[in-house]
Chain A
Amino acid sequence: MTSSDAIVVAATGVHKWFGSLHVLKGIDLSVSRGEVVCIVGPSGSGKSTFLRTINHLESINSGSILVNGDTVGYASTGDKPVAKRESRIAHSRRDIGMVFQQFNLFWHMTLLDNVSVGPRTVLGLSKNEAQDRAAELLNKVGLSEKMTSYPQSLSGGQQQRGAIARALAMEPKLMLFDEPTSALDPDMSREVVSVVEKLANDGMTMIIVSHEMSFVRRAATRIVMMNGGVVTEELRNVRVADLSKANEISAYLNATL
């Protein structure tokens, strides 16, 4: 059922040190197309760091990470990864969208420009094509009237939805979310969760690092628990599974309620 080209992310034996601190102690993770993987765990467990190694915003010291069969940051999958040049890495990042905890919308551009700058400068679309695509996506996330606004005049929830539209504008095959609602209050979180839920229903492959229970309840197909740099528990088929069977996960999630 899972042929090799339906595997979007294949991480094996990923180790990472920050100086003498061993933050990732051999992570193995395989994500198939259409899956929505929620990575949960306490602070310092390495979950955000691991997420960022997938699109090589962080390097790894050993192991390998293949995204759609491509090593994003490395020229070889041998014993010691040799980092590629940044301009080559940039090329591989087109297929991976990322949404950040602090939104990181470009504050010197309007919302429309934020969403269209990627397609225009990286994918080579014309200004009109890029703006049309941006307008469509902003409509999809409910921000049409804010197209000419600058990020500063938007609420957190609006900024995050805008950031999601910006990532989607690149037509990625994989979306990474790094604590997307952690900087938002409950109302704004709800806006973002419903956008993510819609994406999940449209079949986007997603990896979400989050404390947000709603992601788990409404979008996740798999939950991965990380603690102290390793994966400690996994729960597949979340929609139909019995949460209580996964001791660590349910203990962690119940505690965060």
Chain B
Amino acid sequence: MFDWKFFLLHIFRLSPAYGAALLMTIGLAIVGQILGIIIGGLVCMGRLSRSRIFRWAAAIYTWFFRGVPELVLMVILFTGVAAAGLLRFDDFMIGSFVVSASLQAAIVAIGLREGAYMGEIIRNGLQSVSKGQVEAARALGMSPIKVMWRITIPQAMRVIVPPFGNDFNVMLKVTSLASVIGVPELFLTTQTFSAQNFRVFELFIGLAINYLLLTTAWSIIQSLIEARLRRHESTAGRTTFLRTVQAHLIGTGATDAGSA
């Protein structure tokens, strides 16, 4: 029988442990994503490099980290690598916060995998910028750096943000895998709690709702970013926040872009 009293109490009363777990999940996703973007940038440079060695290295990196499951990666990094005596993560402190070995392994595993995907996303975005735009910028006398900063990157963002947004959405959920190596994020905390009071169904429905809230919040943010990036397409005047979000999340039913 579904214990409604327990369920609603759990949903609306945020226990400290649960609050910490929520922050851990969000923090893990953000830090992992940032690491992924940095590694992705390097991988992209490798893919587009003139040097054969770099191109091969980037290709192999991408193939490997897109081919191995995240879960396996985490376990290998945390236990496997230490067992082989190659590398052992040690706890260290930032202020009063302990960055445990398991957390480090989780961040590295997430970052390495995300780097492979971001590398492709960034490369695709950069290559989508039409040659004519770049030529016009060069003809004006812009140096290569200025061309990249003023023209290439802003235009590439338009193509990079949607798949990046989807990736971050996945990222928020991939954090749950860190539970197997003992990182106290939402899933592990919920699991531990349910072992204490046996309210498995209620607690995990609550957990699902929690993830839904996180991913929905991100979807809204993503749609706002996309709306801003696509403002050159709109012929209408300013629209309300709600209408913008609705247009990007649900669509407007129009097939052309000039109605957002």
Q: Taking beta carbons and an 8 Å cutoff, which residues of A are in contact with B?
A: 55, 57, 86-87, 90-94, 96-98, 100, 102, 104-109, 117-118, 121-122, 150-153, 163, 166-167, 170
Complex contact A104–B232 (CB within 8 A)? no
- Complex CA gap A159/B146 in Å reads 23
Supply 26 A–B pairs (Cβ within 8 Å), ascending by A. A57-B138, A86-B144, A87-B143, A87-B145, A90-B138, A90-B142, A90-B144, A90-B146, A93-B139, A93-B140, A97-B139, A104-B132, A104-B135, A104-B136, A106-B137, A108-B154, A108-B155, A117-B140, A118-B140, A118-B141, A121-B150, A122-B140, A122-B141, A150-B232, A153-B235, A167-B139
Q: Which of B150, B155, B232 sits near A117, CB closer than 8 Å?
A: B150
Q: Which residue of A lies closest to B137 (CB)?
A: A106
- Is B127 interfacial (CB-CB < 8 Å)? no
- Complex CA gap A87/B158 in Å reads 27
- Is B20 interfacial (CB-CB < 8 Å)? no
Contact residues, B1-32 vs A (CB, 8 A): none
Residues of B within 8 A of A166 (CB): 136, 140
- Complex CA gap A109/B136 in Å reads 13
Residues of A within 8 A of B133 (CB): 104, 106-107
- Is B151 interfacial (CB-CB < 8 Å)? yes
Q: Which residue of A lies closest to B257 (CB)?
A: A152
Complex contact B139–A86 (CB within 8 A)? no
When each residue 193-212 of chain B gets 1 if its CB lies under 8 Å from chain A and 0 otherwise, what string results? 00000000000000000000
Residues of A within 8 A of B231 (CB): 150
Complex contact A106–B142 (CB within 8 A)? no
Q: How far is the CB of A149 from chain B (nearest CB, A)?
A: 9
Q: Which residue of B lies closest to A122 (CB)?
A: B141
- Complex CA gap A150/B137 in Å reads 17
Q: Which of B151, B155, B232, B235 has the most CB of A within 10 A?
A: B232
- Complex CA gap A90/B144 in Å reads 8
Kindly list the 6 A-B residue pairs having the minimum CB-CB distance in the complex, ordered from nearest.
Answer: A104-B136, A94-B141, A98-B139, A150-B232, A118-B140, A104-B132
Q: Which residue of A lies closest to B131 (CB)?
A: A104
Residues of A within 8 A of B144 (CB): 86-87, 90
- Complex CA gap A83/B199 in Å reads 73
Q: Which residue of A lies closest to B132 (CB)?
A: A104
- Complex CA gap A102/B154 in Å reads 20
Residues of B within 8 A of A57 (CB): 135, 138-139
Complex contact B232–A108 (CB within 8 A)? yes
